[in-house]
Structures are given as structure tokens and as C-alpha cells.
Amino acid sequence: MPELPDITVYVESLERRVAGQVLERVRLVSPFVLRTALPPLASAHGRRVAAVRRLGKRIVLELEGEYFLVLHLMIAGRLRWLDRGDKAPARITLALFDFAGGTLAFTEAGTKKRASLHLVHGTEALAAFDLGGIEVSAAALSAFSDRLRRENHTLKRALTDPRLFSGIGNAYSDEILHRARLSPIALTHKLTDEEIARLHDAAREVLAEWTVRLRAETGGDFPTRVTAFRPEMAVHGRFGEPCPVCGATVQRIVYAEYETNYCAPCQTGGVILADRALSRLLKASWPRSIDELG
């Protein structure tokens, strides 16, 4: 699932291309992707884009007249920019947004069809998509600590809970926890003040560093390599490979459709976390569905 750094770069790339431009029309290729009936989609046609923004892991196209197109990429959704005359990707295109200078293609690989598009009218309707998570980059340590200690959950679940923190998912939570040298199954109510401060610093650093990295990689182009698995990452997606800090083999916890990667010497005092022994804990304090990572 694209997370804060990826979504930020998508938003910035879209701003350069469509801010101030008129949305000529939206073409639904797969009608299921549209999750609203009112207002009708044609209400968006002919309206100028006032702004492009990120809302958690969602991308919002703000149109004049307080109409908002809300795109949620979920796991396999991606965006592509097509010049006039370019063909949309076959089989995976969900919707096409036509502008004078080109077309934004909303695609989704795979068969689970979780990506979504909503059209809503008014700021109150848009506010319904705000799950309440705070922006870590702007949060003081006290606010971060209050959110973390609101409920007693594993750190993995707390960091990926969109009601607590905005824009963090499976990939960057792994990277943040590795940077903070904390176990993914540490319970939030048992953290010391020093550990929370370390986690706060790590979250801000990791998200900022990766946003800068992805910006530089994209340059003035449109993002084409949006993935949760990057060789430069410390632990996420690197099961069986050496930790870049200590050289130990990166381990993993697998539960349902989720995988968490960690380094035992760096994060758990050398203890290998066994999935079977954790099953009861994970059922109580792990995301129950992919939608909880929204």
C-alpha cells in the first residue's frame, strides 16, 4: 500500500500537472471503483482543480464549487500520467481523468479490487474520510506520546492505526521500528519515556528521509516506481538478508496476509519472535483487516 512518502510525491506531481486545470471528464473503465452515487460523477466534469492534497493515505482532487474526488489506492492501486494519444494500460485501468494536457490513469493490479473512488460535495462530506490520525512530522513529542498511549496495543498496530497516526503503513512502520531499535510486539503502555522519544525521532526521520529520496528519484517526471519493497530499506521486505546495521539475518512475523520484518539483535535483544507463540497476542493487537490500515 503506498504510504505517506509515496502519496506525497504523487500529490506533488499531480499539482504540477493539474492544479488550475479543468477536469474535462472522468471515464469509468471499471464501474465498481466508484463508491458513491450522489452527487453524480458528471458533476465533476468541467470543473477546475483548485488543489491536490493528501488525506491520510488518500489523494484528494479539490474541484471548484467544493466538489472533491477522493482516491484510495489501497494495496495494488497506482496512478499513471498519460500524454494525449497514449493508450491506457489494458485490463488494469479503473478510471481515466481527462485534462487538456493529458490523462490521469487510475489502475489496480490483481483481482481483489480494493481501490476506490468517491465524489463528495462539501467540506463536511470530505471530513468523513479523515480518520483522525495526527501528522507525525508536525506532532510534538507530547502529542505523539498521548496518541501512542491512548490504547494498549503492539507498536506495530499502533503505528499503522490511521486513527492514531496519518499515512504510516506496513512498510514504513518496519523501517521506523528498526531505526528506533524497538520490537514490533512491544506494548505501548510498557514503553518508557526515552523509548517513546526515540520512536518519535525515528518516525519523523524515516518519513522525511524517504520523502526526500522519492522526490529526488522522481524529479520532474511522474512517479512510476511506487512500491513497498525497495532494496535501500533496512528491514522491510528483506527477510533472510543481512541487517545493514549489525549484519544479522532479518527475521519476519507472518500473520494472515501481513508480514513484519525486524532485526533480532537490533530490536528484540536477540530473541527470535515465533509466529505460533504470538498467535493469541496478534489476534488481539494486530490489524484485523486491510481496511484498518487505511
Check residue 84 and give its pLDDT.
85
pLDDT at residue number 166: 97
Grid coordinates in use for 85?
494519444
Answer whether 240's CB lies under 8 Å from 249's CB.
Answer: yes
Cell of 6: 509515496
Q: Is the peptide bond before 89 cis (omega within 30 degrees of 0)?
A: no
Positions of the chain with pLDDT under 70:
256-257, 274-294
pLDDT of residue 236: 96
Supply the pLDDT for residue 281: 52
Q: What is the pLDDT of residue 112?
A: 82
* Crossing angle for the helix pair 193-218 and 4-18, to the nearest 10 degrees: 40
Q: What is the pLDDT of residue 259?
A: 85
Whole-number pLDDT of residue 293: 45
Evaluate whether 98 touches 89 at the Cβ level (below 8 Å): no
Closest to 10 measured CA to CA, from 125, 135, 138, 107: 107
- Domains contained in the chain, CATH given: 4-127 (3.20.190.10), 149-293 (1.10.8.50)
Residue 198 contacts by C-beta under 8 Å, 6 or more apart in sequence? Answer: 180, 181, 182
Q: How far apart are CA 161 and CA 165, in angstroms?
A: 6
User: What CA–CA distance (Å, rounded) separates 215 from 228?
Assistant: 16
Q: What is the pLDDT of residue 286?
A: 47
> DSSP assignment, residue 88?
P
Residue 163: strand, helix, or coil: coil
